[in-house]
Structures are given as structure tokens and as C-alpha cells.
Amino acid sequence: TATPPFPVGPRLRRAFHSRIDALTPAARTLLLLIATEERGEQWVLREAAAELGAGDDVWDEVRWSGLLTARDGRVRVRHPLVRAVVYEDAPFAARRAAHRALARALAGEDADELRAWHLAAACDGPDEEVAALLTDAASRAWARGGCASAERILRRAAELSPGPAGAAVRLARGARAAWEAGRVDAARELLDRAARLSSDEEVAEVSGGLRGLIEFAHGDQETAHRHLLRDVPALSRPEKAVELAGVAVRAGWSAGSPALQDTALRVLTALPDVPPALPGWWREEGTAPALTDEAVAHLGAGSWRLMPPAPLAIAWGAEEALAEALERKVAGLRRTDAATALVLTVPQTATLDLVRGRWADATANAAETLRLAEEIGADHAASQCRNVLAWTAAARGDEAAVEELSARALERSVPRGMRALTAAAYWSRGQLALHTGRAEEASGLLERLSEPGHDAAHGTFALLSAADAAEAAVRAGRPEAALPHARRLREWADRTGTAWAAAAADRCAALLAEDPAEAEALFRSALAGPGAAARPFDHARTRLLYGEWLRRARRRTDARAQLAEAAETFRRLGAAPLLARALTERELTGRQPRRPGPGDTGASLTPQERRVARLAAEGLTNREIAARLLISPRTVGHHLSNVFPKIGVTCRTELTGVDFEDGPRLTR
């Protein structure tokens, strides 16, 4: 229907009517049709007008009235306020006739939604036939990725439903569409309305267990766990029941509660048609093949809700496989308005990019998604984005950013029992303290991740941070406190066969070894193991520790080689505190490395890096740069992650201050 952007006052309304009333009745009918058909398609309007008796002479009259505008084959009322007055002041019978004529004139499947809207606007009471047409139109809009459109259509379909049962079904479906579009308050409102008209079981079946999903994404994890498991039996489609039970397992994991996780796992494994790989990554027994590339790809072909959280995949050493699956999923989501799925998925890819050494991509995606998550009220996703940003800020030595980001994350995560998010925030704070030489503080923070009963206690994060906790304890002069962390890594490596854990366990053991030969063998094993270099930051940190050990052993030439490799990685990633430490250690070997001077942007850029940086400075997106240079957006991101630390900037906007003709060098 024609709705004015703001109220039309009486004086303005009278002025418009003086021109409208001067038209013949047939011309006013045509003007009403044009005001009603918002797209302005002439062929539709001519067919509907002919049905209502408005021929070519009437078109001439309206055209000469000055009330119309025609452009690109479309005809519209010249001003939206005139359009509103024409529509609002027409009798209902005339509006109904206009809508019906337009509905009959519209042809083709692509016009189904608009046809249904016109028929709905012509209704003056419940009409199941029209409600069914709207419901079908909503399904088609939803399938095209138009979740918000589906919600709007289903609301109207519910209004036209003759009985409470039909209305409840449409309200529950509308609630699910609203949630997927990122409209959580609207989803709750529609869900509550549906619940007043039908049973909890029916609402759960139609909405796909939405009550628990909303709580999982926005609220308390124990409450989410309870709602999700309550609704699993209500779902008649096995794949939906599996999804819901899988989210319940994830809620238990997010809460850091093995008991909740095990309860949900028992429900999940009792369901029919459970993909064999799905329960595998939630159990701490078994080996890494439970998370093979093929298994992740298989699950990735389904719902994003079937995939493991990124930290768990990192623990299993499956970050590459999961990243590829999630990137495909995200690419599809970006073509829709499924905002909730997007804000829950992108932080996972950003977390994976941290260990993959793709920090520029991680921070860009986290910052972008943080804005969307805050806009739609997705607090948990926003906290995860802040934790990604805090982790990179810690590695880069930005104390103010770490404090602000982690504090905001903790404000939301602690009251809602999100121990996974709380643990991640503590890890960032602990890393910052460790990298900036405050070992005792770092040890105190990182110990909390394995302290029973603490808000930050979480098994997966205790494992992922174990190497940091062990190093902090050793540097604080308490090697005995490092032993449980080293043992945790070794047990995980032995049980699962994951290469990263074996390398981390060797690194910790090297720090604790009293025999020099044993220590060196462990450092070499940590650096040379299969896939050891797949996580660049961790690999460089091992080189740094080994180089420090070699320097203390007076093997200066060997130390310089390790420290140079470490420094190069830290320079590329922008890990300033560790870069400074590596350079200082290298100076102590007797070789004075070149340090950046004022305005000096460090290492020279490759020709491709220079081209990418120039285009980014001009404001082009990664996708636009990729199209210009005939490379992939991922390759663009990789080049920028190299460019930033080389030229001493931290974000794209700072590239505008770089002189690429002479240097490159910073000009401001």
C-alpha cells in the first residue's frame, strides 16, 4: 500500500486535492492504479487500467495533469506525498478494485509475491486462500535469501488466517525468518504470539526449536541448553533434530560444562541419521582422523550449525579444513540478508585466521562483523569479535585496545555463563602481559583458564593457551607451575596425534629440560615436526625461544639464524613486542640488525604488494582489487597482511598517508 514518509497536513492535502479533483473519474481511477502499483510497470498498469475502463484518452488526461513522471519505461506519481494522498483518500472499494485488477494483470512466477500482496490488500477480513498464497510467496522469498521479506509476508498471512492454528504456524515461521534476518526482538514477539495460540511442541516444530536458538545466540547457555534439549523430540525431521541437539552440545561447550556437554551428546548420539563425524570432535578421546578434511567438508555442505566452534577445530588441528568450509558458507550468506547466521559464522573464520597467520583478514572481518553484531543485538558474536581483535592487539602490544576490548567482552560473557568467551578474554590479557615482559601477571591470568570453578575455566582454551601458561610460569621463575600445562599438551598430542600439540609440548619440555642436549633435541623437534610451520606465529615463537637458548649457550651464529627467521615473521605479522625482543636478542649475539628509522617503512615491497597497496590506498575493496589484478580476494588479503607491518601501518585508511613513489615511506 502507499504509505507517506511523514504525515500530510490538511493545507497540503487540500492543495493536492485541488489538482486531483479536477480530473475525470476515469482519470482518478488510473491515478489510483499508478499510486497503488509501486514499481510503475507500464504494461501492468495498462492491462489493469483497461480492465477498469481507462483507455488511452484517460492516459493522456493524467499525463497532461503534471501529476506523473515517466522514466525508463516506468510511470509513477510525481511526488510521494501526492501518491499517499491519492491512495489514502480513495474509498476502500476503489482501492480493493485497483489491487484486484493489478493482481490479475501481474504474470509470471517472479510476480507471485507482489500478486499475493495485492490480493491481501484487497481483503477486508480473514481469507485462507490469500493467506496460503502469501505463505507460498514467503517460502520463495526465504529460499532466495530474503529472510526479512519472508517475515513481513508471514505477518500479513497470519493476520488473514481464519483460525488460530493457521495463524500460529505462520507466526512461528515468521519468528524464525525474523531471527535469521537479525531481528531478535521481532522474533521473540512473534514467537510469544504463536505460543498463545498453539502448544509449545507445535511452535517448536514449526520454528525449528527457535526458543533455544535465540537463547544460545543471545542469552544464558544453561537456559539455552535446557530449551534446546526440550525441543529436540518435537522436531519431526531427523536432520533438524540433529542440528538442534548439536547446538545443545555447543551450548554446553560454550558454558565450559562437561556435564551439560555430555548430556547433550547422549541425546545427539541416540538420534537417527547422525553424521559419524559430528560427535567425534566433542569427545576428548579418539584421534584427529575424526576431523578429516572430508568429514568437515561433508558437514560443511549442510547447516553452519553442524560445524564445530573454531577453537575446538584449532585444538584438533583442523583449522584449514574448517576455514575452507566456512568461507564457502560465508560467501553464500553474504548473498542473502541472513544476518544472524553471518554474525555467528564470520567470527569463526576470523578466529581460524589467527592461527593461520592471516591477521589482516582476521581483524578486518572481526571489525566489520562487530558493527553488524552490535546493530542486531548479537552480544555473543560481538564478544567473540572483540576477543579476536584483543588477541591480535595483545600480540601487537596494544595495551589500551586489549584492556578495552576484553573488558567489553567480559561485561557480557560472565553474567551469561559464556566461559568460552571469558576464557578467550583472559587469554588475550595473559598474552599481552607475557609478550610485554610481565611474566608473573601473565601466569596469574593464564592459570585461571584451568582453575576449577573460575569464570574463565574452560578445557579447550586451557589446552590452546597451555604453551603460553607454561612459558609464563618458567619466565616467572616457577618451572614447577609449568608442568601441568606441559603435561596437558603432551597427553593431547599422544591421544589425538595432532601436530601442533606435539610441537607445543616439545617447546614446553625444552624450556623445562635441564640437560642441554635434551633441550636442543626438543627445540629441533618442535620446529621440524610435520606441519609445525602451519601456524606461523607459534613457529616463530619457538624459533625465538630456541634462539634465546642458543645465545645463552654462546652459540651466537646458530642463534642469529633462528632469531632472524623469528624476527621476519614477527615483522610480517606486526607483532611488535616479540619483534623488539628478537632484535634485542640478535644484537646480543654481536650482530647489529638494521632497525627502522623515522619515516622508514621497513622492508621493501614486492611489485605485486606495491600494486595491491596502491589500489587499497585508493579505497578499493579486496574484491575490487582482485578483479583489477586478476587474483583472488584471499591473495589480496595475504598481500595486505605483508604490506601493513612492512610499511608501518595498522589499517587500510593509513595507506593514504604512504608515498609509494619514494620508498614507500610514511608522509604523515
pLDDT digits (tens, 9 = 90+) for 415-435: 999 999 999 999 999 999 999
Mark which of 433, 464, 495 sits at the end of a domain.
Answer: 464
pLDDT band for position 107 (50/70/90)? Answer: confident
Q: How far apart are CA 291 and CA 278, in angstroms?
A: 9
- What is the extent of the structural domain holding 460? 310-464
C-alpha distances in angstroms, 555 versus 225, 350, 513, 549, 550? 56, 39, 18, 9, 5
Is residue 12 assigned to a domain? yes
Residue 319 lies in a domain: yes
Checking if the pLDDT of 344 tops 90, the result is: yes
pLDDT at residue 632 above 90? no
What CA–CA distances, in Å, run from 552 to 504, 516, 527, 556, 656?
21, 11, 19, 8, 44
Cell numbers linked to 396 = 601487537
Amino acid at 210: L
In a domain, 616, yes or no: yes
Amino acid at 79: H
DSSP summary character for residue 415: T
Distance from the first to the final alpha carbon of the chain? 54
Please tell me the distance from the alpha carbon of residue 385 to that of residue 351, in angstroms, as a whole number. 9
CATH code of the domain covering residue 446: 1.25.40.10
3-state secondary structure of 597: coil
Burial profile 164-188: b = 16 or more Cβ within 10 angstroms, e = fewer: eebbbbbbbbbbbbbbbbbbbebbb
Q: Say which CATH number the domain at 613 has.
A: 1.10.10.10
User: Of 551, 544, 599, 549, whose CA–CA distance to 568 is shortest?
Assistant: 544
- Which of these three, 418, 441, 464, is where a domain ends? 464
pTM above 0.85, yes or no: no
In a domain, 227, yes or no: no
Task: Return mean pLDDT, the chain.
Answer: 87
Please give the angle made by the CA atoms of 253, 256 and 259, to the nearest 5 degrees.
80
What phi and psi values does residue 76 have, to the nearest 5 degrees?
Answer: -140, 155
The string of DSSP letters for 250-297 reads: HHHHHTT-HHHHHHHHHHHHTSTT--THHHHTTSSSS-GGGG-HHHHH
**Is the distance from CB of 431 to CB of 442 less than 8 angstroms?**
yes
- Residue range 439-448: mean pLDDT, rounded: 96
C-alpha to C-alpha distance for 484 and 515, rounded to whole angstroms: 20
Task: State the DSSP code for 163.
Answer: S
The answer as to whether 559 is a domain residue is no
Residue 438 is assigned to a structural domain of this protein = yes
Radius of gyration (C-alpha) of the chain in whole angstroms = 31
Residue 660 near residue 610, CB atoms below 8 Å: yes
Q: Is residue 357 a part of any domain in this protein?
A: yes
pLDDT of residue 648: 76
Final residue in a domain of this structure, among 75, 107, 139: 107
Residue 214 has pLDDT above 50, yes or no: yes
Contacts 24+ apart (CB under 8 A), 509-518: 510/545, 510/546, 510/549, 511/470, 511/471, 511/474, 511/479, 511/482, 511/545, 512/470, 512/474, 512/479, 512/482, 512/483, 512/486, 516/553
Q: What is the pLDDT of residues 33-88, one digit of tens each?
A: 888 887 878 888 888 888 888 877 888 888 788 777 877 778 888 778 888 888 88
Residue 486 belongs to a domain: no
Q: How far apart are CA 638 and CA 651, in angstroms?
A: 14
Q: How far apart are CA 485 and CA 462, in angstroms?
A: 8
Is it the case that residue 482 has pLDDT exceeding 70? yes
In this predicted model, which residue has the larger pLDDT, 618 or 571? 571
Q: How many domains does the chain have?
A: 3
Q: Which three cell numbers stand for residue 656?
A: 593514504
How far apart, in whole angstroms, are the C-alpha atoms of residue 9 and residue 3? 14
